[in-house]
Chain A
Amino acid sequence: MELTKNITLGVYLPGKSFIHRLDPRTKIIASGIIVILLLMIRSYQAYGAVFIFLAAAVIIAGIPPGYAFSGFKPMLPVLTFMWIFQLFLYSSPDAEVIFSWWIFTATDAGFHMGTLITLRVIFLFGITTLLTLTTSMVSLTDGLESLLSPLKAIGLPTQELVMTMVIALRFVLILAEELDKIVKAQMARGVAFDRGNFIQKTKKIFPVFLPLFISAFKRAEELIIAMEARSYTGGKHRTKMKTLHIGRVDLAAILIMLIFSALIIFLILTVNPTI
């Protein structure tokens, strides 16, 4: 599948490692904590600690490091652009100028800001990739359903929302294949998608998405009838085949997370921020 090549986010690598065996709720919360920590970090030392932690997790999970890194490839242009943007636009009054040309001035403050923000994006991407690589979509949605369930008290239809996600996940690939078919059918009738300027190219997209949308709605209608025929009446009265359990591995993971969070918070508080 050409469309999904090179995308590691959302791919699941089955395995039996410590991380694979964790309850999805533990993994979701742990990832959430790391995300929050990442947003607070402003020093290279703290990033170093996060890097060691994530690298260890990747090794324990048995993910080939090369594969883990390949996911960054499509992001490189954006990351580079972001870094350059920060380099020239961010400055502080006492910053040292590295070089200056015409209206562009790069300072050391801009350099550090660019690097820190780029690192932050890389790590945010890394932690979400790690989560999806080690957790199947089904257990992710199960975990999410369980974590969201308190919100039922304020009237949020959590089970229905999660069911929507489950169905969406199932149809991503089906619709991607369908899109591929439509594109090929139009190419067979002489549409050259790679020719013309930006506006001409964009115009060619509409005749592709229209049939895709129509087909998606038709599928949705058929699916609703099939679900109704299987007695689906919404989340009420539904039971689950699988229930989640917090086990010994989860307790160990929670302990590790506590120690790691304490360390990062300690680093945030004691090490002078680079910026």
Chain B
Amino acid sequence: MKTLIEITDLTYKYRSGGGNAVTALNGVTMQVYRGEILAITGQNGSGKSTLARHFNALLTPGSGEVIVDGLSVNDKKNTAAIRRIVGMVFQNPDNQLVSSVVEEDVAFGPENLGLPQAEIVKRVDWALKSLDLEAYRYRSPNSLSEGQKQLVAIAGVLAMKPKCIVLDEPTAHLDPKGKREVLENVQRLNRDEGITTVLLTHSMNEVVHCDRMIIMDQGLIKLTGAPRELFAQAEQIKALGLDLPAAAQLAYGLKLKGLTLPGNILTIEELVASLCQLP
């Protein structure tokens, strides 16, 4: 089975303060494939966070269906099992770490699963090692940089051995170095451990490294495809209020000025290669 998460015609409404409902998702149909890195982008309020919270049963569908690894989110009995399959990392690391000791925080998830002690120790060792955090094992998260804190949060999810990790704007609070650390580690876990990854982000430079991307707007999926395909449609991307990756933006600007670069440019390396080909 190729699909890990299958979503069919999902709608979701929030009740707002005045009592009237706000539609966050308006008939979304999509899939997350096993082993891929999927980026979900869109402006604030486009519904991407609401969508992602259905992936591990934090929200239950208003209507429509969400099937995670063969289990329906609509059925409350599946909630515990689904949360073992899909882990979630949130934007602000400070608001998701529980303990004042790194190792204890990483153990929090496995402890909740009721695993035997030896297995918890094994998993904590493994998760800390995978993210290169062993040196901080006995430290307090308060003494770490924001990027390292976010890695601890990822280690905490990793220790639960999920098939899929959903990251909800994990780099929004981080400095450039922290952003790079987190992204590199996310890509490495996807590559080495085969963990399906869903990355919610505003940064088009992060999307470039993903296998597929989904662009959301007003509770609907507007575009789906490989980043290279979608960024070729610069006008459409801009109409949805999003930017192009930096290199693609430059190529697009040059094209508007009458200089069309050869090739379909997404990364700095491609831009350099393409510029060097100019006569």
Interface residues of A (CB under 8 A from B): 136-138, 163, 166-167, 169-170, 173-174, 219, 222-223, 225-233, 237-243
Q: How far is B98's CA from A163's CA once the two chains are assembled, in angstroms?
A: 9
| Given contacts A138-B99, A222-B96, A226-B88, A239 and B109 within 8 Å (CB-CB) | no
Whether B98 pairs with A241 at a CB distance below 8 angstroms is no
In the assembled complex, how far is the CB of residue A44 from the closest CB belonging to chain B, in whole angstroms?
40
Q: Chain A contacts of B142 at CB under 8 A?
A: 170, 173-174
A166-B100, A170-B99 known; A222+B90 contact, CB < 8 A = yes
Judging by beta carbons under 8 Å apart, are B97 and A170 in contact?
Answer: yes
Size of B's binding interface in residues, CB under 8 A: 38
Closest to A231 in B: B112
- What 17 additional pairs, Cβ within 8 angstroms, besides A219-B95, A230-B157, A243-B117? A138-B99, A138-B101, A166-B98, A167-B98, A169-B100, A173-B142, A222-B92, A222-B96, A223-B96, A225-B90, A228-B58, A230-B108, A232-B108, A238-B112, A239-B115, A241-B104, A241-B111
Pair A231/B94 contact, Cβ less than 8 Å: no
Chain B residues near A240 (CB, 8 Å)?
Answer: 111, 117, 120
List B98-153 residues whose CB lies under 8 Å from chain A. Answer: 98-101, 103-104, 107-117, 120-121, 124, 141-142
Residues of B within 8 A of A229 (CB): 56, 58, 83, 87-88, 90
Q: Which residues on A sit within 8 Å (CB–CB) of B163?
A: none
Specify the main secondary structure of chain B where it touches its partner. Answer: helix
With the chains together, A166 CA to B109 CA distance in Å?
A: 15
A241-B94 contact given A230-B160, A233-B112, CB 8 Å threshold: no
Contacts of A137 in B (CB 8 A): 100
- Contact between chains at A231 and B120 (CB < 8 Å): no
Question: Closest CB-CB distance, B24 to chain A, in whole Å?
Answer: 15
Cβ 8 A contact of B117, one of A170, A222, A239 = A239
Assembly CA distance A167 to B94 (angstroms) = 11
Instruction: Determine whether B170 belongs to the interface, using a CB cutoff of 8 Å to chain A.
Output: no
The answer on a CB contact under 8 Å between B58 and A225 is yes
List of A residues within 8 angstroms of B95 by Cβ: 219, 222-223, 226
Give the docked Cα–Cα distance between A88 and B108 (Å): 55
Neighbour of B112 across the interface among A219, A225, A230, CB < 8 A: A230
Could you tell me the distance in whole angstroms from the C-beta of A227 to the nearest C-beta in chain B? 7
User: CA separation between A163 and B117, bound complex, in Å?
Assistant: 18
A-B contact pairs, 24 of them (CB 8 A): A138-B99, A163-B98, A166-B98, A166-B99, A166-B100, A170-B98, A174-B94, A219-B95, A222-B90, A223-B96, A225-B90, A226-B96, A229-B58, A230-B83, A230-B108, A230-B109, A230-B112, A230-B156, A231-B160, A240-B111, A240-B120, A241-B103, A241-B111, A242-B104
